[in-house]
Amino acid sequence: MKFEIEHKYLVLKDLWHSSKKPEGILIKQGYLLDHPEKIIRVRVKRDQGFLTIKGPTVKATRLEYEYPIPVADAEELLQSFVGHCIEKIRFNIIFAGKLWEIDEFLGDNEGLLLAEIELKSEAETYEKPPWIGEEVTEDPRYYNSCLAKNPLKSWNQK
C-alpha cells in the first residue's frame, strides 16, 4: 500500500511574492469521482497525464495510487467526464532539505496560495519556510476536490 502523508498550509502572499522562485508548472485537474471515502482524479501536467486514486483522509494520511496515462487520454477525460476543473501553477521549492509544493490557483480560485509538504511519517519533523501561514491540513474546504466544486470566489457569496 502507498500512503500519502501531507501537511497543507496557507501561504503568506506578501512574503511569497517577494521570494525568489523557480519557473512554475501549469496543472489542470478534475475529478471523475469525489466521495468522502474515495477520489479518482485526472491531471494534466505539462505533456504528461495522470490518473490518481485516493482513499479517505485521516489527519494527514491517506492511501494514494498514481498512474501515468497518455496526455491525450487525460485531456479527453477532463473534457468529457469532469464537471469542474481546477487550474494552478505549481512551484517546487526545496527548503531545509524538504520539498514544498506551492500552488497558485487560477480561475475561480484565483488569489489562493497553498503549500504542501509530503512526509515519510506522521512523526517526521520539518522546518517551515518564512512564507508559511496557517495550517489547513484538516480543513476540507482546501482539498483540491472541494475547490473544484466550491471555489474560493463562492465562499463570500453564501
Cell representation of residue 101: 509544493
pLDDT higher than 60, residue 158: no
Q: Please indicate whether residue 31 is annotated as part of the active site.
A: yes
92-97: list long-range contacts, CB under 8 Å, 24+ apart: 92/22, 92/25, 93/21, 93/22, 93/129, 95/127, 95/129, 96/126, 96/127, 96/129
Contacts of 50 (CB under 8 A, 6+ apart): 41, 42, 43, 44, 66, 67, 68, 69, 74
Cβ count within 10 A of residue 9: 22
How is residue 54 written as a grid cell? Answer: 485516493
Given this model, what pLDDT does residue 32 score?
Answer: 96
- 31, 67, 126, 142: which is the annotated catalytic residue? 31
**Average pLDDT in the 151-155 region?**
93
pLDDT tens per residue, range 42-67: 999 999 999 999 998 878 888 999 99
Question: Could you read off the pLDDT of 93-141 as tens digits, one per residue?
Answer: 999 999 999 999 999 999 999 999 999 988 999 999 999 999 999 999 9
pLDDT(77) > 80: yes
| pTM of the predicted structure, to 2 decimals | 0.92
Query: Is pLDDT at 157 greater than 70 in this prediction?
Result: no
Q: Do 71 and 44 touch, CB atoms closer than 8 A?
A: yes
Q: Which CATH superfamily is domain 3-157 in?
A: Hypothetical Protein Pfu-838710-001 (2.40.320.10)
pLDDT at 26: 98
Ranges of each domain in the chain: 3-157
Confidence of residue 156 (pLDDT cuts 50, 70, 90): confident
Mean pLDDT for the chain overall: 94
